[in-house]
Each structure stands twice: as C-alpha cells, then as structure tokens.
Amino acid sequence: MKIIVTDNYDEMSKVAAELIAEVVERKPTATLGLATGSTPIGCYKLLADFCRQKRLSFASVKTVNLDEYVGLSASHNQSYAYFMRRNLFDSIDIELSNTRIPNGSAADVAAECAHYSALLKNNVRDVQLLGLGSNGHIGFNEPDTPFDSVTHLVNLTENTVTDNSRLFKNLEEVPRQAITMGIAEIMQAGKIVLLASGQNKARAVYDMCRGPVNAACPASILQRHPDCVAVLDKAAASLL
Ligand code: F6R
C-alpha cells in the first residue's frame, strides 16, 4: 500500500481528485467506484471544478457506488443516492443513466443484492474511491465481514450508527441496515484510493496500514491490493 500524508483535508482532497482525474484522462470511458460520507466531499468539489473548467469530461464515464441505507428512497435527503446527486452528479456532465447505487427501497433486498453483484461483474471498476470507518470498515463491511464477501445486507454496528447520527435529526432516525458492495468486489478494482481525515480515524488507519491482515479490521485487506493508495491528512496518520 502506498501512503501519502498531506497537511490537511484540503490537500488530501486535491491529491485524491488528481488521482481520479488521471484515470478519467487516460480512459474517458472509465468506470469509477464511488463512496459517500464526509470524507470525499472535497474531492468531489474539485472534480466538479475540473469539469466546469473543461479539463475533464464525465460524459462517457460510468459510476457504481459502494452502498445505500435500507429503507431510504432515492429522494430522501439522507440517502446516498441524494448525496451523490447533490455532491457530484448535478455538477458534472455525467449521464445519470450511467450511475448506479444499490436500491435501498427494494421490496426484495436479497434480490437487489444479487442484482447489484451481477452488475458489478459487468462493470469492473478502473478505480475505487473509499472512505474509512472509525472501526476500520470499508463500504459498510463492518468488522468480522469475510474477505470473500460480495454485495450483501448489513446490520450496522452501534459504532457506525452513532458515527452517522450526526447527519440525522436524532439517533432513532438513523437506518440500522444497509446494502453494501462486498470486500471481494471492492478488491476487484484496478486501483483503490482510500481517504482518511481527522484524529478519530487514526486508530483505524494504523490497523489498516500496520496491523495484521484480518477481518477485525476490514480495511487491512487493502495491504494485499496491488495498487492501493491511502491518502491521509496528518491527524489521520498521527499513529503511523
Ligand atoms: C460510504 C462508505 C463508508 C464511509 C465511512 C467513512 O459510502 O462506504 O465506508 O466511507 O463510513 O465515513 P465519513 O467519510 O463520513 O467519515
């Protein structure tokens, strides 16, 4: 795993945006694996700037997202579908029909997982962007998820529900389940760019980079990826 330590969140976002832009410049029909959460927002802003400045076009790009809450429709303002429109898709020249996110309001969640897994087989990611949970999760693959997992339904841990509650009115409103891309599918991407910012990620960053590769820290599997770059700010890298 290559590790890049930057001074702060903005610098981390710049490095990340350049890494994604390089992929799209080299291959305008690239498939991007995308993440939600607070961490990639700065990177998405810069990618939108690149598009506005005509440096980059997403007109032929496809995207597949990592995960979605179960029970939230795409129009709910805390759904990841809504997040992607607001933070990226509405500001770039992508065709919305080329973007995919698990359907959190599917009546048959198992069928939706199987459908999404099949879709991922046909849309191999040239680059996968990842955030990192404070418990070491990637996507919503919580600790002890098998490394060979594919898209599945997750019961979110209390840790994750609490972390995510900052975006909801109260803890009771936070969905307890999600559909997530599995670890095996995350690892299929040609390149992985993992972002982490802030002191509250420092322990997970240490376990990811220096700890044993085991399911207690799902992100530790990234040590085995042939082209993974961890872009960290100083606070997140403080225990390395
Ligand atoms: C989001 C995702 C999660 C987040 C992680 C960090 O699609 O899959 O793994 O990347 O929970 O979230 P933030 O960036 O909000 O700290």
| Confidence (pLDDT) at 78 | 94
pLDDT digits (tens, 9 = 90+) for 60-104: 999 999 999 999 999 999 999 999 999 999 999 999 999 999 999
For residue 26, give the H/E element and its range. Answer: helix 9-26
**Residue minimizing CA distance to atom 5 of ligand 1:** 133
Q: Are 12 and 231 in contact (CB under 8 A)?
A: yes
For the record, the structure tokens of 182 come out as 């599995």
**Residue 155: active-site member:** no
- The alpha carbons of the chain give a radius of gyration, in whole angstroms, of 16
pLDDT mean over 105-132: 98
Closest by Cα among 42, 51, 34, 38 to 10: 42
Burial of 221 (0-12, 13-18, 19+ CB in 10 A): buried
To the query of whether residue 135 is one of the catalytic residues in this protein, the response is yes
Q: What is the pLDDT of residue 109?
A: 97
Could you read off the pLDDT of 144-159 as tens digits, one per residue?
999 999 999 999 999 9
pLDDT of residue 212: 98
In tens, the pLDDT along 149-202 reads 999 999 999 999 999 999 899 999 999 999 999 999 999 999 999 999 999 999
Is the C-beta atom of 84 inside 6 A of ligand 1? no
CA 82 / ligand 1 centre spacing (Å): 15
Residues in Cβ contact with 106 at an 8 Å cutoff, skipping those fewer than 6 apart: 112
What does the block give as tokens for 52? 């506005």
What's residue 161's pLDDT? 94
Instruction: Determine which residue's CA is closest to atom 4 belonging to ligand 1.
Output: 131
Name the closest-CA residue to atom 15, ligand 1: 37
67 is catalytic: yes
